[in-house]
Amino acid sequence: MKKTAAELATIVGGKLYGNAEQEIVDVRGAMDAGPEHVTFAQGVYAEHLEEFRAGLILVDKLPEKTTKNLIVCDDAKRGFSQLVELFHPETHVKPGIHPTAVVSPTAKVSPKAAVMPYCVIDDGAIVGDDTVLYPYVYIGRNAVVGQGCEIYPGAVIHENTVLGDRVVLRAHAVIGGQGFGFATDAQGHHNHIRQLGNVVLHDDVEIGACSTVDNSAMNSTVVGRGTKIDNLVHLGHNVEVGEDCFLCAQVGVAGSTKIGNHCILAGQAGITGHIHIVDNVILGGKTGVIGNITEPGEYVGYPARPHKEWSRSQVLVGHLSEMRKKLRQLEKTIQQLKEEQ
């Protein structure tokens, strides 16, 4: 496929500066793009446009001076994602149920859905229009999978789970498994308490590979509309995550915690149970949260503290050795003064 720079500007809704007839054949990353490629530049990358070899670059604002062909748009990264879809459209799976799939006679599978080899759909389950179940997917009893969902190989959707529309489960995600609930007797033996609730994933939620969302003890574990969850993330029973959140790799959230809307949890952040985090909170990598967060903002460290406060304390930590030497010197001086008296 070939497109001119002018055509691509129209597609992304941006304004072109440079050669309108420049031909583009593909998308590339900033460092790999050549004269026939389009890429994008934001943040620090936008400061090095003259070093790019790309034939066309999407940017958020026009620099004072440039020799490059540029498209200025509201969000360069989002515009670039449109061009990724243009040059590399997803393949569409034909609807139908593969002969090796096992589908309960009481399940309701849309004729517009695609059920690929070795899937299992249990009693009373519902699968909506235009949903694709890749090989080895399991849909449990009375589970509901909405329209336009993508369920990748090996994913497990346990009984009574409810998925909204356009939900994506990456390979081997497990939704609605038994929550980690136990009663410990006087002898120290742990006895499992059966969790009777379910999981509800609202529209446009994405769950990464090998991530797990446990079902609730009685009600629902909930992930809000538009939230994106990375690989190897765990949500405990009764957790509630708001809308349009990002949970990055290896985040762990203990049971009954509530997370607000538009929150970002960076890699390996850990959140204790039975707490509340308000909207618009960012947790840095490896942050440990052991209490409620009641004010929006960026938090880091263990226990979690506002970023500025944590930064000041880290500066002091760097001087501890020097401060220790000065303290010992002062102690010696004081001791000498006492002996002279």
Express each pLDDT in 157-177 by its tens digit: 999 999 999 999 999 999 999
- Helix, strand, coil percentages, rounded to 5, for the chain: 20, 30, 50
Q: Where does the pLDDT of residue 324 fall: very low under 50, low under 70, confident under 90, or very high at 90 and above?
A: confident
CA distances from 130 to 75, 112, 151, 271 (A): 30, 5, 11, 36
Cβ atoms of 281 and 257 within 8 Å: the answer is: no
Phi-psi region of 64 (alpha: psi -120 to 50; beta: other; left: phi over 0): alpha
Axis crossing angle, helix 320-340 with helix 307-318, rounded to the nearest 10: 60
- pLDDT on residue 123: 98
Cβ atoms of 268 and 250 within 8 Å: the answer is: yes
Q: Where does the pLDDT of residue 46 fall: very low under 50, low under 70, confident under 90, or very high at 90 and above?
A: confident
Q: Hey, how many other C-beta atoms are within 10 angstroms of the C-beta on 165?
A: 18
Containing 9, the helix (H) or strand (E) segment is helix 5-12
Mean pLDDT of 104-117: 98
Q: Give the tens place of pLDDT for each residue, 178-237.
A: 999 999 999 999 999 999 999 999 999 999 999 999 999 999 999 999 999 999 999 999
Is pLDDT of 266 > 90? yes
3-state secondary structure at position 109: strand
Closest CA to 57 of 74, 32, 25, 80: 80
Q: How many CA atoms lie within 13 A of 205 on its CB side?
A: 25
Closest CA to 237 of 260, 203, 214: 214
**Range with the lowest mean pLDDT among 70-79, 234-243, 323-332?**
323-332
Q: Where does the pLDDT of residue 273 fall: very low under 50, low under 70, confident under 90, or very high at 90 and above?
A: very high
Is pLDDT of 341 > 80? no
Instruction: Give the C-alpha separation, 87 to 324, whole Å.
Output: 61
Closest CA to 80 of 33, 43, 28: 28
Q: Where does the pLDDT of residue 318 fall: very low under 50, low under 70, confident under 90, or very high at 90 and above?
A: confident
Mean pLDDT of 61-87: 94
Burial class (CB in 10 A: 0-12, 13-18, 19+), 65: exposed
Instruction: Give the C-alpha separation, 223 to 228, whole Å.
Output: 9
Q: How many helices (H) and strands (E) does the chain have?
A: 4, 40
Burial class (CB in 10 A: 0-12, 13-18, 19+), 240: buried
Closest CA to 119 of 88, 141, 151, 72: 151
Torsion angles phi and psi, residue 66, rounded to 5 = -160, 150
- pLDDT on residue 204: 98
Any idea what DSSP says for residue 213? E
274 noted as active-site residue: no
- pLDDT on residue 333: 87
Q: Where does the pLDDT of residue 284 fall: very low under 50, low under 70, confident under 90, or very high at 90 and above?
A: very high
Is pLDDT of 114 > 80? yes
- pLDDT on residue 291: 96
- pLDDT on residue 126: 98
Higher pLDDT, 48 or 96: 96
Instruction: Give the C-alpha separation, 162 to 165, whole Å.
Output: 10
Q: Where does the pLDDT of residue 336 fall: very low under 50, low under 70, confident under 90, or very high at 90 and above?
A: confident
Chain Cα centroid distance, residue 321: 40
Q: How many residues does the chain have?
A: 341
- pLDDT on residue 171: 98
Q: Which of 37, 158, 234, 237 is flagged as catalytic? A: 237
Q: Where does the pLDDT of residue 91 fall: very low under 50, low under 70, confident under 90, or very high at 90 and above?
A: confident
